[in-house]
Homo-oligomer: A and B are copies of this chain.
Amino acid sequence: MISVKEAKNIILNTTQDFGVEEVPFIKSVGRILKEEIFADRDFPPFNRVSMDGICIDFNPFKNGQRTFKIEGIQAAGSEQIRLQNSENCMEVMTGAVLPENANTVIRYEDVTINNGIATINIDAINKSQNIHQKGKDGKVGDVLISENKIISAAEIGVLATVGKSMVKVAKQPKVMIISTGDELVGVDENPLAHQIRRSNVFTLVSLLESLKIASETAHLTDDKAILKQKIKTFIENYDVLLFSGAVSKGKFDFLPEVFEELGVEKLFHKVAQRPGKPFFYGKTANCNLFGFPGNPISTFVNCLAYFYPWYYKSVGLEIEEETAILTKDVNFKPNLEYFLQVKLSDKFGHTLATPITGNGSGDLASLVHADAFIHLPNDKTEFKTGENYPIIRYR
């Protein structure tokens, strides 16, 4: 049995490269940028008026002039016009090009306008004020967004600004999510006394959806021949297979055997953790297989703890570890690393983790009351209030 760290290292050393595709920029939120985004012009592209008001040449103002005849209006979206007489002014609108020969903008709030004459009512005026200088935020050719960044609304604005209507992003893996177990029936069905409804595949679909990965699902019965035939096809046609169930010691836990017969290289089976211990991980030349144990919380936490980091590294995304502070003492005796459900809250900028008492790895309902798992190491058995440990958020 290996440690969580060893398991994670093996997983991170067997990532894939899914390649790159171009998508419309407005569809790219949540995807991983696979090109550098350059400024196509200076940013802003002209000396941009940043307040509605009037513009002047600062010299006459400095020499005491306070009334300026209005020559005209420079609207946003109009070609640059010219201040003909340096003792006059021009009305200017936010977003407009600063008129030629003007160098200072005074906002309407500080000006009185009567009969085409603007009178400046304050003395505290600085040359160049209220002008967003050409190139101040970036020069043509500057890198505005680096490769491998996850695209959010902020990046969407920049992509639009520089005219990147199509953008290169990491392709997503082709994923099949497979449930096994003859006790499972469909969500629409009425289970008999000894049956339960399928739920883990849908949890996995949702967890992948939050990575913007569309996935497919299948249910296979606990029949070795069928399992072998179907999984062979899946291996040939998908980048990743996620399994829920049939990896433990049960008589009908055929997956490890089937994997072996299909030539899957077993990289590990079992991690010294709770929940999620009987986790199987293997690969073929083109496909990675994650065999999650079938208990709902085992599947859930292993997807977060192993598939997520595998995906992040595959697409080039670096994720910083986050930690939280225990609000209650926790005792945990088994010599296993412990992923404990916690409810997160904030107090004075501290992230607090309050353990949620569940009833073991079958208790899916307890996940509803938590937000994250806190990862407690196996080198001690008592974890004290105020100590901090890594967390994995799921909301």
Contacts and interface: CB of A to CB of B under 8 A. Distances in A.
Contacts of A209: 29
Given A182-B77, A210-B29, A252 B200 contact: no
Residue from A161, A184, A193 having most chain B Cβ neighbours under 10 A: A161
A191 interface: yes
B206 A52 contact: no
Interface string A165-207: 1000000000000000111100111111111111110111111
Nearest to A387: B349
Nearest to A78: B194
Interface string A247-258: 011111100000
B29 A182 contact: no
A92 B249 CA distance: 11
Interface stretch (A115-123, A143-151, A330-338): A143-151
B154 A192 contact: no
A155 interface: yes
A203 B50 contact: no
Interface residues of A, number: 118
Contacts of A25: 187, 202
A160 interface: yes
A362 interface: yes
Q: How many copies does the complex hold?
A: 2
Interface stretch (A3-11, A94-102, A232-240, A377-385): A94-102
A222 interface: yes
A108 interface: yes
Which 4 interchain pairs have the tightest Cβ spacing? A77-B182, A77-B183, A153-B206, A154-B367
A127 interface: no
Contacts of A193: 45-46, 79-80, 97
A84 interface: no
A249 B108 contact: yes
A276 interface: no
Contacts of A16: none
A71 to B, nearest CB: 14
9 contacts: A25-B187, A26-B202, A50-B361, A75-B251, A77-B183, A157-B200, A158-B365, A324-B349, A350-B350
Given A157-B367, A199-B157, A250-B94, A77 B362 contact: no
A31 to B, nearest CB: 12
Interface string A5-30: 00000000000000000000110010
A245 B52 CA distance: 12
Contacts of A39: 365
A247 to B, nearest CB: 10
Contact of A76 (B80, B144, B250): B250
